Structure 1
Amino acid sequence: MSDDDDFMQASDEENYDFEYEDDDEQEEGGDVDVENKYYNAKQMKVDNPEEAIDEFLGVPALEPEKGDWGFKGLKQAIKLEFTLGRYSKAIEHYTELLTYVKSAVTRNYSEKSINNMLDFIEKNAEDDQANQCIEKFYSKTLESFQATNNERLWLATNTKLARLWLAQKDYPRLTEKVGELHGACQLDDGSDDPSKGTYSMEAYALEIQMYADTRNNKRLKRLYNRAIGVRSAVPHPKIMGIIRECGGKMFMSEENWKAAQSAFFESFRSYDEAGSMQRIQVLKYLVLTTMLMGSDINPFDSQETKPYKNDPRIAAMTELVDTYQRDDITQYEKVLKQNQDLLADPFIAENIDEVTRNMRTKAVVKLVAPYTRFRLDFIAKRLSITIAEVQDIVGFLIMDKKLRGKINQDAGTVEIESRADQDRMHAVAEWTTAIRSLAGFVLNEGEGFRADDPGMAPPMMGVMGGPMTGEAGAFMSSQRPANAGKRKGNRGAGK
C-alpha cells in the first residue's frame, strides 16, 4: 500500500454519516492549521526530506490531544528517518506512534497502518544496521500489542520477524519462532485452525525454505508433503509459489526431473497469479528441468507460459533449450558463454553443468561414430573443451556401455571395438561351446569312441587341443570364415 493510504481508513467501526459544519470557527481553524502543516510537509518530502521530517514531527504538537493527524505525521516522519538511516530516531518516534493505537485511532486502521509500516522498513533495509533496527521495530510492536490481545497483528509481526531471521540465516531462532507460529495456528485438540490458515501456511513456507537452504531433504520432503496436503486453508498464491519452488529444488537434487518439472510449473502459476517477479526466475528453472529431462516438448507451449516466450529476461534460457533440443553443441556453448549472468543464480549454476555434460556426451557419440580409433585432442578441439573433459566423457560412455573401447592415456587415443569384430568373437565363442559339447557327448556316449579304445584316442585329442584330421578336420576348416585371421584396417581420427 502506498504512502497515501492515509485517506483510506478501513474500519468496521467507522461511521460514514454526514457531519454538518460546526459554528466554532476557532476549532475549525485549528484543524485547518494541522492539515495544512501535514500536506505542506508532504510536498517537501522529495526535495527536502530533512525539513519535511521536522514539519511532520510538528503536526502532533498542534493537536490538543492525540488524533489522526498526529498519527499520520509520525508515520511519515518515521519512514523518512529510516530511509535516511536515522535508525535511533525512527525507533524513538515509532515507540511514540504505538501510543496512538490504544485510543487515538481505530483498531483496524492502526493494525493496517502498523503492518504497512513494518512492510515498508522490511523492503527498505539495505544493511546490517537497518536489520538490527527492524528487529527492534518488531519487538516494540509485540510489546505494545501483547496487552491489547490483538492476535492477528501478533501473528503478522511474528511472521515478519521469522522472515527476517530466515534472511539472516539465524536458523535456531527461526526454528523456535516457527514452532510458536504453528502452535498459535492450532486448535486445542492439535488440529489446524481454519481461521488462521494463511499464517499456518506461511509458517510452513518459512520452515520449508530453511530446510531447502540447509539441504535437509529428509525433513524438507516430509514437511513439503504435509504443506501440500493442507486443505483447511486457502493460502496466498505467493506462499504456494514459495512452497512449490522449494519442492522443485528438492526433486531436482533427487534427479526426479518429472516431479521437479511439475512443481516448478505449479510454482510459476502461483507466482504469476500473485503478480510476483519471482515467476521469471522459476520459469528459468522450468526450462532448465525440461533440458535435464531430455524432453522434446517446448516449455512455452502451455497457455500459462506462452506470453513469456519472447520476454527478454528469459531470452537466454529460450535459446539454450532450443539449441539443446536441436543437439547443436556449438550454438549451445556460444549462448552459454555470452550469457554468464545466468550463472549468478546458484541453483542454475549448480544444475547447468549437468545439461552441458549431456550436450557434450551426445556430441562425442556423434563425432566418434565413424571411427575405430581416435585421438582425445581431436575431440577436444572440435568441442572446444579440455582433453581432461573429453577423457572424462569417454570414460563415462565406456562405463555406461554406450561406447565399447579402451583409453590409451599415454598415447592419448581411444580404440573402439567394431561391431563386426564383436559379432565374429561371439560366433567363435558359440562354435567353441558347441564343439566342446559335441566332444563331451561322443566321448561319454559314443560306442566307437570310448576312452578305453586306444586306437581312437589321438583323433579325439585333436578335437580338444591339437589339429584335427580327416573328415572332422575338413568340417572345421569349412566352418571358418573366409576372412578369419585378417585384421580390419583402422580408420583413424585426427592422426
Structure 2
Amino acid sequence: MSDDEDFMQESDEEQYDFEYEEDDDEQEAGDVGIENKYYNAKQLKLSDPQDAIAEFLGIPPLEPDKGEWGFKGLKQAIKLEFKLGQYDQAAEHFAELLTYVKSAVTRNYSEKSINNMLDYIEKGADESAAVKSIEKFYSLTLQSFQSTNNERLWLKTNIKLAKLLLDRKEYSAVSKKLRELHKACQRPDGSDDPGKGTYSLEIYALEIQMLAETRNNKQLKTLYNRALKVKSAVPHPRIMGIIRECGGKMHMSEENWKEAQSDFFESFRNYDEAGSLQRIQVLKYLLLTTMLMKSNINPFDSQETKPYKTDPRISAMTELVDAYQRDDVHAYEKALRNNQDILADPFIAENIDEVTRNIRTKGVLKLIAPYTRMKLSWIANQLRISEPEVQDILSFLIIDGKIKGSVNQQAGTLEITSAADISRIQALDSLTTSINELFGAVFREGEGFRIEHTSFEDATPGLDVQALASLAKAGGRPAQRPLHRPGKGKPVLTPL
C-alpha cells in the first residue's frame, strides 16, 4: 500500500449499526473540515512544503480522539520533514504517529504504513545525518511494538534493521541482530519454530548474504543447505532468489559450474516471479556459468529466459556467449573491449578471466593444429595477445597432455612432435635394444673367447647409438659412418 493512499482498510471486527446520535451532523461537518484541510495541505506540498507541514500537523488537534485523518496528516508531515532534512522533528512526529497504532487505525493498515515509512526514509537517507536518524526511527518502532506485544511487526522491523546494517557492511552488528532474531524464531529446545518458518527463511537469507560477502564459504554451505530444508514456510520468491543467488556464487568459488548454473537459474526464476530488478544481474551470472561450463546449449532456450534474449541490458553478455560458442576469439575480445561496464560487477570481473583464458586456449589449439613448428610471436600476433600469455597457455596444454611438443624459450618457438616421430623413436629404441642383446649373445657365448667390452657401443665406436636416438627424436638423420674401421676400434679378444 502506498504512503499516499487516502483510504484505510477496515477491520474485520468493525461492525456497522444504524443508531443516530444527536450530534451526527456536527461530527460530519467536523470530518469534512478536517478532510478539506488535509487535501489543501497536499496541494501545498510542491509549491510550499513548509506551509504544507504546518497544515498537516494542524490536523491531529482537530480530532477529539485519535483517528484516521490525524494518522494520515502525521505521515505526510514526517515524509516532508525528512525530505527537507529536518530529521529531529521527523523522529519526534514519528513517535507521535506510533501512538495511533494501538487504537486509531486497523492493525493491517498501521503495519503497512509503518513498513512503508521505514522504506521511505531508508531510500531517502543520502547523507550521514539522515543515516544516523534512521536508527532512531527503528528504535522507536521496536519499542512501540514490543510494548504492544506485536511480535509479527517486531520481527519484520528487526529484519529490516538487520538488512540496513548489512547494506552498511556493519557485520558485527548484523551478527548480533541475527542471533537475536534466530532465538525469537526458535522453540525453547532450540529447534526452528514451524509457525515462524517464513521469518526464519528471511533471517537465513540475510545471514547467507553476509557470509557470501565475507567469503565464509564453510559456514555458508552449512546454512545454505539448512535453508533449503525449511519446508514449513511459503517464502516470498525474492527471499528464495537471494538464497539461490548466494548458493550459485558459493558453487562458483568451488568451480562447481553445473551446480552454480542450476542455482542461478532458480534465482533468476524467483526474482522474475517477484518482479525484482535483480533478475537481470542474475541472468548475467547464468550466462557467465554457461561459458565456464563450455556448454553449447543456448541459455535462452528455456521459457523463462526467452523473453530477455533481446533485452539491451544483457546484450553485451549475449555477444560474449555467442562469440564464445563460435570459438571466435577476435569477436569475444572486441565485445569485452567495447563493453567495459560488464566488469563493474565485482563477481563478473572476478570470473571473466577464466572465460577469457578458456576461449584463448581453444583459439591456440585451433591455430596450431596444421603446423609442427611455429614462432610464439606469430601465435601472439594471430590471437592479438602477448607472448608471455601464449607461453603460459602452451605450457598448460603441454602439461595437460592436450598437445605433444615443447617450447624453446631461447628461440621463441613451439615444436610439435607428430605421431610419426613418436613411432620412429620407439622403433629405433627397440632396434638398439635388440642389437645390444644380439651382440652380447654372440660374444659372451662364443667358444674359446671372452669379451672385455660388454657394451655394443664400446665395441663399435663408429656407431653412436644415443646420438642416433636423439637425432631421430629431433626428426634428423645421423651422419653415415662405417660401423667398423680396420685397425681401429676392434674388440680385444683374449684366449680363455
Secondary structure in structure 2 of the residue aligned to 1:370: coil
CA deviations over 1:441-495 (Å, ceiling 9, x no partner)? x74xxxx86558443748x9564653499xxx9xx9xxx9xx999639xxxxxxx
1:280/1:314 contact within 8 Å kept: yes
Contact 1:12–1:108 under 8 Å retained in 2: no
Specify whether residues 17 and 267 from structure 1 end up closer, same or farther in structure 2 by C-alpha distance, changes over 3 A only. farther
| CA distance in structure 2 between the aligned counterparts of 1:485 and 1:385, rounded to whole angstroms | 29
Larger CA deviation: 218-227 vs 415-424: 415-424
Matches within 5 A, 1:136-155: 136-155=136-155
- Bigger shift: 65-74 or 256-265? 65-74
Q: 1:227 offset after TM fit, Å?
A: 0.5
Does structure 1 retain, via aligned residues, the 8 Å contact 2:78–2:93? yes
* Counterpart amino acid of residue 295 in structure 1: S
SS at match of 2:459: coil
The Cα shift of 1:68 comes to 1.3
1:17–1:189 Cα change, 3 Å: farther
**Is the alpha carbon distance of 1:454 and 1:211 closer, same or farther for their aligned partners in structure 2, counting shifts above 3 Å?**
farther
* SS of equivalent to 2:302: coil
Q: Deviations over 1:310-346 (max 9, x none)?
A: 1111111111111111101111111111111111111
Amino acid of the structure 2 residue aligned with 1:166: L
Tell me the CA shift for residue 233 of structure 1.
Answer: 1.4
Instruction: Provide the C-alpha distance between the structure 2 equivalents of 1:421 and 1:18, rounded to a whole number of angstroms.
Output: 106
The residue aligned with 1:493 is none
- Is residue 91–residue 136 contact of structure 1 (8 Å, CA) maintained in 2? yes
Unaligned runs of 5+ in 2: 478-496
CA distance in 1, matches of 2:366, 2:459: 45
Equivalent-residue separation in structure 1 for 2:428 and 2:16 (angstroms): 101
From the superposition, tell whether residues 116 and 245 of structure 1 become closer, same or farther in structure 2 (CA, over 3 Å).
same
Counterpart for residue 487 of structure 1? 476
Distance in 2 between residues matched to 1:484 and 1:73, nearest whole Å: 92
Provide the residue aligned with 1:403 in structure 2. 403
User: How far does residue 175 in structure 1 lie from its aligned partner after superposition?
Assistant: 0.9
Residue 449 of structure 2 is aligned to residue 455 of structure 1: yes
The range that moved more, 408-417 or 371-380, is 408-417
Change (3 A) 1:454 1:47: farther
- CA distance in 2 between counterparts of 1:485 and 1:101 reads 90
* Paired position in structure 1 for 2:224: 224
Cα distance between partner residues in 1 of 2:23 and 2:126: 51
CA distance in structure 2 between the aligned counterparts of 1:173 and 1:94, rounded to whole angstroms:
24
Alignment of 1:374-413 (within 5 A): 374-413=374-413
Select between 37-46 and 92-101 the one with higher mean Cα deviation: 37-46
Per the TM alignment, residue 145 of structure 1 is displaced from its structure 2 partner at its CA by 1.6
Contact 2:320 2:336 in 1 (8 A): yes
Whole-angstrom CA distance in 2 between matches of 1:268 and 1:253: 19
State the partner residue of 1:89: 89
| Aligned mates of 1:484, 1:68 — CA distance in 2 | 95
Does 1:348 find its partner at 2:341?
no
Instruction: Report what 2:244 is aligned to.
Output: 244
1:310 aligns with 2:310: yes
TM-score, normalization by structure 2: 0.88
Letter in 2 for 1:229: K
Query: Do the aligned partners of 1:38 and 1:73 also contact (CA within 8 Å) in 2?
Result: yes
| Counterpart residue number, 1:492 | none
* Conserved 8 A contact 2:202-2:239: yes
Moved more, 370-379 or 306-315: 370-379
Alignment of 1:52-131 (within 5 A): 52-131=52-131
Inter-partner Cα distance in structure 1 for 2:418 and 2:224: 50
Cα distance, 1:81–1:254 mapped onto 2, change above 3 Å = same
Cα offset, 1:17, TM superposition: 5.6
Contact 1:439 1:463 (8 Å CA) reproduced: no
In the alignment, structure 1 residue 466 sits paired with structure 2 residue 469: no
Distance 1:59 1:288 in 2: 56
Partner of 2:325: 325
Per the TM alignment, residue 411 of structure 1 is displaced from its structure 2 partner at its CA by 3.7
- Quick check: 2:408–2:414 contact (8 Å CA) kept in 1? yes
How far apart are the structure 2 equivalents of 1:165 and 1:419? 64
Q: 1:334 to 1:16 in 2, by over 3 A?
A: farther
Rounded Cα–Cα distance in structure 1 between residues aligned with 2:426 and 2:21: 108
Q: Which moved more, 1:220-229 or 1:83-92?
A: 83-92
Count the aligned residue pairs. 471
Residues 391-400 or 221-230, more deviating: 391-400
1:189 aligns with 2:189: yes
Aligned to 2:211: 211
Give the superposition deviation at 1:46.
3.4
SS of residue matched to 2:131: helix
TM-score (norm 1): 0.88
Equivalent position of 2:416 in the other structure: 416
Q: What is the CA-CA distance between 1:173 and the residue it aligns to?
A: 1.3
Change in 2 beyond 3 A, CA 1:468/1:267:
same
**Aligned partner of 2:277: which letter?**
M
- Tell me the distance in 2 between the aligned counterparts of 1:439 and 1:16: 119
Moved more, 233-242 or 401-410: 401-410
| Corresponding letter in the other structure for 1:193 | D
Q: Which amino acid aligns with 1:455?
A: F
Distance 2:139 2:448 in 1: 107
Q: Where in structure 1 do 4 or more consecutive aligned residues deviate above 6 Å?
A: 18-22, 483-486
| 2-structure distance, mates of 1:72, 1:19 | 28
User: Aligned pair in 2 of structure 1 residues 153, 382: CA closer, same or farther (>3 Å)?
Assistant: same
Give, in whole Å, the separation in 2 of the partners of 1:91 and 1:374.
Answer: 75
Quote how far apart the aligned CAs of 1:430 are.
3.5
SS of alignment partner, residue 46 of structure 1: helix
